[in-house]
């Protein structure tokens, strides 16, 4: 384990690769804060829906009173109210996905992510944390798993939340989202330069974290 307590660690990868689970355990192991950047996109999307989907996004963002707390979990506050319980709704997911292609929204959230992370001692997780937000981060991970396993995990996650979906449908939607994320013009999902790649197929979250901790110790020597 590193003694250094100010590293910036980024974890990117497609959905279902296990980023959130792994990032939380890794942050705990390193005694670092944890930031879920997807929750930030979701929070802005929720606010946008609540505002009645205003046409002028620039003005909407200017007037937005949104705060994020991070540490063991990422919480989102809108006008002081904790909205973290609402941001996983399917409708919010759709808007978040659409917003993630909007340059103004990306610049707004990238700025906030840099403000939060620049002091270090943090694990950031998302789609562009190592490529765009902190391209000079000391440790960048890119994690992935084969599409069947990712769909299986996503399916399990949805069932555990009481949302029933056909496994084949989950797999199809995931493939469409992957294509969207990787082919979008702004901040597409890419393997960041110098990233350490970890294939999580067939191994559990703790095993992934063990690999990561080992790789961090090697790089920090
Ligand atoms: O990881 P998630 O499903 O909670 O992310 C929500 C949406 O935000 C998803 O459509 C991808 C997008 N996103 C992004 O474009 N860049 C990030 N750094 C994090 C999330």
Pocket test for ligand 1, best of 96, 170, 174 (most atoms within 8 A of CB): 96
Q: Measure 41 CA to ligand 1 centroid, in angstroms.
A: 6
Residue 190 burial (10 A CB sphere; 0-12, 13-18, 19+) = middle
The CATH homologous superfamily for domain 8-213 is: P-loop containing nucleotide triphosphate hydrolases (3.40.50.300)
Strand partners, 196: 141
Distance, in Å, from the CA atom of 153 to the CA atom of 50, rounded to the nearest integer, reads 30
pTM across the whole model: 0.92
**Segments making up each domain of the chain, as ranges:** 8-213
Q: Is 96 in the pocket of ligand 1 (CB under 6 A)?
A: yes
Quick: pLDDT tens for 69-97: 988 889 999 999 999 999 988 889 888 98
Quick: pLDDT tens for 103-112: 999 999 999 9
Nearest CA to ligand 1 atom 11: 97
Q: Is 126 in the pocket of ligand 1 (CB under 6 A)?
A: yes
């Amino acid at each position: 384990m590193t003694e250094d307590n100010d590293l910036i660690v980024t974890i990117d990868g497609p959905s279902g690769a296990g980023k959130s689970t792994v990032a939380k355990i890794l942050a705990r192991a390193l005694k670092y804060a944890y930031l879920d950047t997807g929750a930030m996109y979701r929070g802005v999307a929720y606010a946008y829906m609540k505002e009645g989907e205003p046409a002028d996004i620039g003005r909407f963002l200017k007037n937005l009173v949104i705060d994020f707390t991070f540490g063991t979990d990422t919480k989102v506050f809108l006008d002081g109210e904790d909205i973290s319980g609402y941001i996983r709704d399917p409708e919010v997911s759709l808007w978040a996905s659409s917003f993630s292609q909007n340059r103004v929204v990306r610049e707004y959230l990238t700025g906030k992510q840099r403000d939060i992370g620049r002091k270090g001692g943090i694990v950031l997780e998302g789609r562009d944390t190592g490529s765009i937000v902190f391209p000079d981060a000391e440790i960048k991970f890119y994690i992935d798993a084969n599409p069947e396993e990712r769909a299986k995990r996503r399916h399990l996650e949805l069932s555990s939340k009481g949302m029933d979906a056909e496994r084949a449908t989950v797999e199809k939607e995931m493939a469409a989202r992957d294509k969207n994320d990787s082919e979008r013009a702004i901040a597409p999902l890419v393997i960041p330069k110098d990233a350490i790649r970890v294939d999580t197929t067939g191994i559990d979250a703790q095993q992934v974290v063990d690999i990561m901790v080992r790789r961090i110790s090697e790089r920090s020597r």
